[in-house]
Amino acid sequence: MPTRDRPIRTRYAPSPTGPQHIGGIRSALFGWLFARRHGGQFILRIEDTDQKRSVRGSVEQIVASFDWLGLDIDEGPHIGGDYGPYVQSQRLDMYQGWANWLVEQGYAYRCFATPEELAEMRKAGRGYDRRYRDFPADRSAERAARGEAHVIRFKMPLAGTTSGIDSIRGEVAFDNAQLQDAVLLKSDGFPTYHLAHIVDDHAMRISHITRAVEWLPSFPLHLHIWHAFGWEKPQFAHLPVLLNPNGKGKLSKRKQQFADSQGKSVPVLVHEFQSAGYLPEAVVNFLTNIGWNFGDDREVFTREEAISRFDLQDVNPANSAYPIAKLDWLNSQWIQRVDANDLARRLKPVLESVGYAVDEALLRKVAPTLQVRLKSLNDVLRMAGFFFESWSDFAAPSAEIVIQRKMDASSTLDILRGALPLLEALDNFSPEAQQAAMSAFAASRGLRNGAVFGSLRAAVSGQKVSPPTFDTMQILGKAESLRRVKLAMAALENTLS
RNA sequence: GCCCCAUUCGUCUAGCGGCCCAGGACGUGGCCCUCUCAAGGCCAAAACAGGGGUUCGAGUCCCCUAUGGGGCACCA
């Protein structure tokens, strides 16, 4: 039985198949949270034993994704560690050694069945018929020595049941008669997952194997392999997976975007979250809320707060539809929560990405007006991009934008004509002072505030929707604001003549 | 086909036999606030898959069915 007091070490062991998918992060996150909770280590190991599936550059993408999300890795191919190498293709001799050891000990055997024979057996409806399970050891060794292609298979018990403890769902039992003699070592000398992960998890002192539910069916196989080796077993936690937003099928790796019920496109790759303007804090918060909950109805919390409460036993065993709509809300919550200067820092690259030369001082003034208005960092473009356009190139907006509801060109012109000298007379151009003057003006003319404020908003921003009018004018400055009001007046005069 | 796992509002979830005529959140609808857009506040509609047991008592335990997910590769 595993002892409870060994150091907590968990790992994420992806295949290097390209950009990091959010489903993998979800699984990794729970292992990471658990390790951090217990002051243990979190390890990255690359499982590249299937040569055909390996994609160059994958490790860099995976590491970049973890970096962005702030999930720190203690040991891995990019940083090394005491139990390396952390790439399976660099550990081949270990797997071969242990596979042979299992054969020598009688726990495994060489199988010379050809791919054609296997295909026939499959067609016949059943799996591998164990035809080499009891093949004489001397003849087996002889054929291998002659260089005949073969794999090594594990001898599963033929009867009885195997049960194991899953940290999330408790005891799980399997009928041994249903299980197959799985391949441990392929004919190309590479191990399968079944062999490799056990050799590595043992060598790397992994205390808790956290992996997706699709591994549950091979759990009994793994238990027997651990037993054959005689190694202390880790604890196992088979994590639920993310389903598509409609609840149908596992969240796809192939379809990178698809429409949810609102017709929005849905990010599934980590870099897509980044480019869609989500904060990493929000993404982590979002993922943490699926299949686990904070415990006191809190939905918004930091990763540190989550660490302080996380336990694998509290993970909900059921798979869940990908509740992507909640991410937008969470993102807006996080945008409101971060410090305004921090928000400015995060907004800068977004503005630069569309070609603005960003004045940081200006951005720091704009950011506070945006905190309650952005769902995504990218919304800054639509809401406040005009601040970063060349001011001298500012063109008066069309009358259609300046003229407010129930107003016309001439009444709007009247408003601007009346407002201009009042604003000009202000020594203090604070939003409060502006608002006091403009409210009084509106009242004196019997106008709605909206008619006055809205005309000014459009005049100075060129937009129907913007940050509050008087904040906008303060940021633009009195001179620039008044210049724009005059521009709008001139444009309106033109439409009237 | 066989095996495993799961099943509470549309969705994410709380609930580990009585505190539940089921709580929170997102989304949706309404109202309030309001210079636009938001944010915020208040309110509303909305669920224990079905059927059998066990028990004084079941969303909570057991069984069956249904549905969903996964597995049955020399992929992980």
Walk along chain A (497 residues) and give the pLDDT tens digit of each residue: 444 578 999 999 999 999 999 999 999 999 999 999 999 999 999 999 988 888 999 999 999 999 999 999 999 999 999 998 999 999 999 999 999 999 999 999 999 999 999 988 888 877 899 999 999 999 999 999 999 999 999 999 999 999 999 999 999 999 999 899 999 999 999 999 999 999 999 999 999 999 999 999 999 999 999 999 999 999 999 999 999 998 888 887 655 444 444 455 789 999 999 999 999 999 999 999 999 999 999 999 999 999 999 999 999 999 999 999 999 999 999 999 999 999 999 999 999 999 999 999 999 999 999 999 999 999 999 999 999 999 999 999 999 999 988 889 899 999 999 999 999 999 999 999 999 999 999 999 999 999 999 999 999 999 999 999 999 999 999 999 999 999 999 999 988 87
The two tokens of residue A488 are: 């709008």
- Which protein residue has its CA closest to C1' of B23? A297
Nucleotide closest to A314 measured between CA and C1': B16
Whether any strand B atom is under 7 angstroms from the Cβ of A49: the reply reads yes
Which positions 158-187 on chain A have a beta carbon less than 7 angstroms from any atom of strand B? 169-170, 172-175, 178, 180, 183, 186-187
pTM, rounded to two decimals? 0.94
- Which protein residue has its CA closest to C1' of B25? A299
Q: What is the pLDDT at residue A309?
A: 95
Whether any strand B atom is under 7 angstroms from the Cβ of A440: the reply reads no
Whether any strand B atom is under 7 angstroms from the Cβ of A457: the reply reads yes
Nucleotide closest to A248 measured between CA and C1': B68
Q: Which residues of A389-407 are buried (b: 16+ CB within 10 A; e: fewer)?
A: eeeeebebbebebbbbeeb
Whether any strand B atom is under 7 angstroms from the Cβ of A193: the reply reads yes
Which residues of A are part of the catalytic machinery? 253
Nucleotide closest to A249 measured between CA and C1': B69
Q: What is the pLDDT at residue A354?
A: 96
Q: Are strands A183-185 and A208-212 parallel, antiparallel or unpaired?
A: unpaired
Q: Is A295 helix (H, G, I), strand (E, B) or coil?
A: coil
Torsion angle (degrees, nearest 10) of CA A108, A113, A117, A121: -10
Quote the CA–CA distance of A462 and A284 in Å, as a whole number: 37
Which positions 63-92 on chain A have a beta carbon less than 7 angstroms from any atom of strand B? none
C1' of B21 to CA of A299 (Å): 28
Protein-proximal nucleotides of chain B (any atom < 7 Å from a CB) = 2-8, 10-14, 23-27, 34-40, 68-76
Q: What is the pLDDT at residue A127?
A: 84
Phi-psi region of A440 (alpha: psi -120 to 50; beta: other; left: phi over 0): alpha
Q: Which of A394, A387, A405, A479 is nearest to A449 (CA)?
A: A405
Cis check for the bond before A220: say yes or no (omega within 30 of 0): no
Rg (CA), chain A: 32
Q: ∠ at Cα A474 (A469, A476), nearest 5°?
A: 95
Q: What is the pLDDT at residue A84?
A: 82
Whether any strand B atom is under 7 angstroms from the Cβ of A209: the reply reads no
Instruction: Let me know if A295 is exposed, middle or buried by CB neighbors in 10 A (0-12, 13-18, 19+).
Output: exposed
Which positions 275-334 on chain A have a beta carbon less than 7 angstroms from any atom of strand B? 289-293, 297, 299, 314, 316-321, 323, 325-326, 328-329, 332-333
Whether any strand B atom is under 7 angstroms from the Cβ of A441: the reply reads no
Nucleotide closest to A471 measured between CA and C1': B35
Which positions 382-411 on chain A have a beta carbon less than 7 angstroms from any atom of strand B? 383
Whether any strand B atom is under 7 angstroms from the Cβ of A453: the reply reads yes
Q: What is the pLDDT at residue A2?
A: 45
Q: Which residues of A136-167 are buried (b: 16+ CB within 10 A; e: fewer)?
A: eeeebeebbeeeeebbbbbbbeeeeebebbbb
First-to-final CA distance of chain A: 92
Interface pTM, i.e. ipTM:
0.95
C1' of B27 to CA of A356 (Å): 35
* Interacting residues of A165 by C-beta distance below 8 A, sequence separation 6+: A171, A172, A235, A236
Nucleotide closest to A325 measured between CA and C1': B26
